Structure 1
Amino acid sequence: MYLSAKNHRILLSDGNSIPIIGLGTYSDPVPNSKGSCLESVKTAIDVGYRHFDGAYIYHNEHEVGDAIRAKIAEGKVKREDIFYCGKLWATNHVPEMVRPTLERTLKTLQLDYVDLYIIEIPMAFKPGDEIYPKDENGKWLYHESNLCATWEVECHPYFTQPKLLKFCQQHDIVIIAYSPLGTCRNPLWVNTSSPPLLKDALLNSLGKKYNKTAAQIALRFNIQRGVVVIPKSFNPERIKENFQIFDFSLSEQDMKSIEALNKNVRFVEMLMWSDHPEYPFHDEY
């Protein structure tokens, strides 16, 4: 599979294609400064990104849409060049709520369509306008649902998902890896028992070998396996660095060495919802 900065789309089973690297636009619970997402998406498009991963609950889809439309107006890209993934939040799993929720996303983006619309987490909460519904005692308000869809998969050198990857490859399913560089260290929803991925000694030593950063090594590892990555950054230099992964290849031995880092431990555990009847991480996949 030959990939380059200008041509890095991989084929999906329906005949469409998806860029193998995208920009994650997740915003911390404390919002970033106004406009930071807007400028980051503009920078990313100038660098060569064509895939953007967003969500209603990030509270910045309007900035993503503004940036995409600005670059279209400049003539930098056409709408069909861009792959945008939006997400259905857990309070909108009731079937009749899906279309209106998607239409709200389109209105926020001011775009005619999204390229992919997925279930954000495979657990339903009480339907309504409250994003994180709780009762008067602070207990989470869950909701029963019938999930007949798939969702993103955490995947990085500490959690390589070999069995899932093999299954997906056998069935022509493309994996999109969230947190491909690890994630923040917020103990409310992150397993902090594993050390930060980007401080790993092997990834850093390979970075010196290839004159790359540990992050670039981690991203290259996944795209060589055919896994789509969506690293999040609002830092212009890191946005550029994360995209500079098409001018080198990891050797077969180095790929095996990185695979051996697998701890089979998730960073994103969301343990605050582990009592949800649909909590997915009790199972192997």
Structure 2
Amino acid sequence: MTALHLMLNIPTFKLNNGIEIPALGYGTWLGLDEKANFSTEDLPKMIDAMSYAIDIGYRHFDTAHLYRVEPEVGQVLNKKIKEGVVKREELFVTSKYHREADVEVSVRASLKRLNLDYLDLILIHWPMSITEDGVDEKIDYLETWRGCESVLEKGLVKSIGISNFNVEQIKRLIANSKVVPASLQIEVNLNLGQNELVDICHDHGIVVVAYSPFGTMVPSRAAPNSPEPKLDNPTMLEIGKKHGKTVTQIALRYMFQRGIVSVPKTVTKSRVLENAQIFNFILDENDMKTLSEFDNGYRTVRPVFWQNFTNYPFEKLPGLEQIEIPLSLRKWKNGLNLDID
């Protein structure tokens, strides 16, 4: 079956500014290797998978300056626009900024790398602010937020939001802002339900976007002693069998029914399709309750090398001295050849 015959209908949630965000996105973070270096090895596969995603109906694409892939993401988007597969206004493109004091400079740089006139959503990637040399700049995220409000006023972006903020930080931001964030992107999965944070967001019309929606379920994320569920978990398999769906589809559907957007990453076309085939069944009340019981607060993404910095949003692990921040998270170039500023 060709991509043309597969056209998926991905529903949307409404942001607090009236803009619609597709309930499933394509994540473009390719990760670091075991030596904490960015690998471009999977970038050609990502380009291929992302192109396929647009062909079958994905319209939401999640990237960041830190991911190094904005040039390629922009190439795919522009190619599909030029081919008439999709119009720019049908796309929802998110990027994020890491440790930026001058948001406008950063947004304009992203727009140049992506070759776009505007972004649909920008996020403050982390509430900390660290120099290329690994020094804590201690910039207040409220100051960075003023920069976000400014680029919103100038029309460079349609919506502004945050990422990796905790309960106290988001309450403080809401209390001291002209514009309430449209979105909060955080790790949410079966092990990490983030109920309090999700409830606060829903109370303020802030759409929660989940990264790492599978947690340690997938083998590439299965750390030693990480908790269930895994892909062969009997409870998950039973729920999957009941609905004729895979374990990962059950996990994504659970997010959707909680009112949460997911942005899973994959460079495999079959997974791109599988991830989006979650809108034609409903988990019942018992399913939802059973799945909620996997929540034990286990975090898959925990950058402990940042934990002693001002505004680090997660609980600190005891007994860790300051670990050196990987160079790849301080200084980098963008694109396949890592040669684009």
Q: Is the 8 A contact 2:66 2:97 kept in 1?
A: no
Q: 1:141 aligns with which of 116, 127, 135?
A: 135
Q: CA deviation at 1:193?
A: 4.0
Go from structure 1 to structure 2 and tell me whether the alpha carbon gap of 1:147 and 1:203 turns closer, same or farther (over 3 Å shift): same
Name the SS of the counterpart of 2:207 in structure 1. Answer: coil
Q: 1:158 aligns with which of 191, 204, 210?
A: 191
Which residue does the alignment assign to 1:117?
122
CA distance in 1, matches of 2:117, 2:260: 28
Q: Is the 8 A contact 1:22 1:52 kept in 2?
A: yes
CA distance in 2, matches of 1:68, 1:196: 37
Which residue does the alignment assign to 2:227?
195
**Structure 1 residue 54 corresponds to structure 2 residue 63:** yes
Cα RMSD after superposing both structures: 2.2
Q: Is the 8 A contact 1:192 1:267 kept in 2?
A: no
Which residue does the alignment assign to 2:29?
26
- For 1:39, the aligned partner's letter is D
Alignment of 1:112-261 (within 5 A): 112-126=117-131, 130=132, 133=133, 140-148=134-142, 149=145, 150-151=162-163, 152-182=185-215, 192-195=224-227, 197-199=229-231, 200-261=233-294
- For 2:125, the aligned partner's letter is E
- Structure 1 segments (4+ residues) deviating >3 Å: 183-187, 190-193, 195-198
Which residue does the alignment assign to 1:70?
79
Could you tell me the percent identity over the aligned residues?
36
Q: Note the alpha carbon deviations across 1:135-163, whole angstroms, 9 max, x for none.
A: xxxxx322111113532211111111111
Q: Note the alpha carbon deviations across 1:244-278, whole angstroms, 9 max, x for none.
A: 11111111110111011111121111112111122
Q: Which runs of 5+ in 1 are unaligned?
A: 134-139
Q: Is the 8 A contact 1:47 1:243 kept in 2?
A: no
Q: CA deviation at 1:39?
A: 1.3
Go from structure 1 to structure 2 and tell me whether the alpha carbon gap of 1:86 and 1:144 turns closer, same or farther (over 3 Å shift): same
Equivalent pairs counted in the alignment come to: 263
Go from structure 1 to structure 2 and tell me whether the alpha carbon gap of 1:191 and 1:278 turns closer, same or farther (over 3 Å shift): farther
CA distance in 1, matches of 2:73, 2:188: 24
- For 1:217, the aligned partner's letter is I
Q: CA deviation at 1:119?
A: 1.1
Q: Is the 8 A contact 1:198 1:204 kept in 2?
A: no
Q: Which runs of 5+ in 2 are unaligned?
A: 1-6, 32-37, 146-161, 164-184, 317-341
TM, length-normalised to structure 2: 0.72
Go from structure 1 to structure 2 and tell me whether the alpha carbon gap of 1:253 and 1:185 turns closer, same or farther (over 3 Å shift): closer
